[in-house]
Amino acid sequence: MHVIYGGTFDPIHHGHLRLALEVADALQVQQVDLVPCHIPPHRGDTGATSAQRLEMIQLALAGESKLRVDDRELQRAGASYTADTLRQLRQELGPAKPLVMVVGTDAFASFDQWREWKDIPALAHIVVVKRPGSDLPAGSAASCLLEERRAVTEKDLWQAPAGKILEFDAPLIEISATGIRQRISGELSPRYLLPDSVLQRIHEQGLYGACPDRNF
């Protein structure tokens, strides 16, 4: 089984990292690939460049064998679309290997607004991570799709290469990248919300309005 967890990771923090490890353990896989997007199609510009976000992820993953970074979307020009990434991965993995993408309930709620969303279940399973206050609206396209393709347990995802949707209850660490950026720009300490190596690089490069000479 191949598992990917995409996002802007702007910046990567302990919530991202803990969730990825929880997924790896629950699905009993050796690795989860973090896939940073180049240009997110549904939000404005990122606070850090693609190269800076990739470097921060690499710093955060140092020494953790269960997590690695897949920078394929950063190598493509233009906006990053999940369907394109899944097609490329499916071509590499072959037709039989289970492929899983991880997404939060908040993002999955607008799944029908994703480009080529109807093609995605044929390419991969979807693990929907439940987030407080982000329930799927009854009767929505995402809710109906979940009911049509619901997986009962993690084992269901091993039985086919794609097509199932699993709701996943993880011990969530409520940390947001937006909140971290706001704390940094407001000269408040975000320490312990993200790895020290990442925070150090943010200050070295003056990202998100950080003062390079300020010690958090």
**Domain membership flag for residue 17:** yes
pLDDT value at position 173? 78
Provide mean pLDDT across the span 15-42.
Answer: 92
pLDDT value at position 10? 96
Q: What is the pTM of this model?
A: 0.93
**Domain membership flag for residue 135:** yes
Q: In the chain, where does DSSP find H-type helix?
A: 14-27, 50-61, 82-93, 105-108, 120-123, 141-149, 177-185, 196-205
- CATH number, residue 36: 3.40.50.620
Separation of alpha carbons 146 and 166, rounded Å: 8
Q: How confident is the model at residue 215 (pLDDT cuts 50, 70, 90)?
A: low
**Helix/strand/coil for 115:** coil
Question: Domain span at residue 17?
Answer: 2-175
**Domain membership flag for residue 122:** yes
Provide mean pLDDT across the span 136-155.
Answer: 94
Provide mean pLDDT across the span 103-126.
Answer: 94
pLDDT in tens, 162-175: 999 999 998 777 89
**Domain membership flag for residue 191:** no
pLDDT in tens, 50-104: 999 999 999 999 999 999 999 999 998 888 899 999 999 999 999 999 999 999 9
**Domain membership flag for residue 213:** no
Would residue 7 be called left, alpha or beta, if left means φ above 0 and alpha means ψ between -120 and 50 degrees? left
Domain count, the chain: 1
